[in-house]
Amino acid sequence: MARYTGPVCRLCRTEGKKLMLKGERCKSDKCAINKKRPAPGKDPKGRIGKRSDYGTQLREKQKLRRTYGMQEKQFRFFFQRALRMAGITGENLFSFLERRLDNVVYRLRFAASRSQARQIVLHGHVQVNGKKVNIPSYFVKPEDVIEIREGSRNMVIIKEALKEFGKSGVMPWLQLDPDTMKGTFLAVPRRSDIKDLADIREQMIVEFYSK
């Protein structure tokens, strides 16, 4: 499946919730959800009705996949890996998603959105344990040190994104020194720790892929 290149606010309108795909814009009055704009398509009110079980499961899957900015093939691969792992599949899936390097770069406030974090990684601005890594799906391990390369520390988009650290800090499983632009992935988060995605019903996603 090709990567979606259309207006990302349309995705938020489709899912009826903020997916935080455009950084600061998502927190402003310009946000389509804040404006209470309807779902895209002709006469969306005419399509309102009782949603089937399949439709509900599909929407939960799409919300999570789009939040992390992944293609279907990638997302399904992560789910299959979570399914094979011991423990609760839905919780395993979240732990895998949070360990992606592009997500960790976003969580460390080096980028305003996951898509921006993916670009920063792809362009070689990030190091893991002192070595350049330009693979967004790279799996970060506990105690890994993630930092912005010395030659990239004056980038305006990174400095602007880091302002968020002063407002809300970072997630409890991360540690960040904003002055050196160096962070540490302390531990794999538990599902209950990921409070900004508490409304996602991961059991619905498990049921969707189990059909």
Rounded Cα gap, residues 111 and 104, in angstroms: 10
pLDDT at 183: 97
pTM, whole model, 2 decimals? 0.83
Q: Say which amino acid occupies 193.
A: D
Question: Is residue 190 in some structural domain?
Answer: no
98-151 pLDDT tens trace: 999 999 999 999 999 999 999 999 999 999 999 999 999 999 999 999 999 999
Half-sphere exposure of 52 (CA within 13 A, CB side): 4
Residue with tokens 């999570």: 64
Q: Do residues 116 and 152 both lie within one domain?
A: yes
Closest to 22 (Cα-Cα) out of 31, 14, 13, 34:
31
Q: Which residues form the domain of 180?
A: 102-185
Closest to 133 (Cα-Cα) out of 114, 150, 120, 152:
120
Q: Do residues 35 and 69 both lie within one domain?
A: yes
49 confidence band (pLDDT: 50, 70, 90):
low
Q: Do residues 115 and 54 both lie within one domain?
A: no
pLDDT at 1: 44
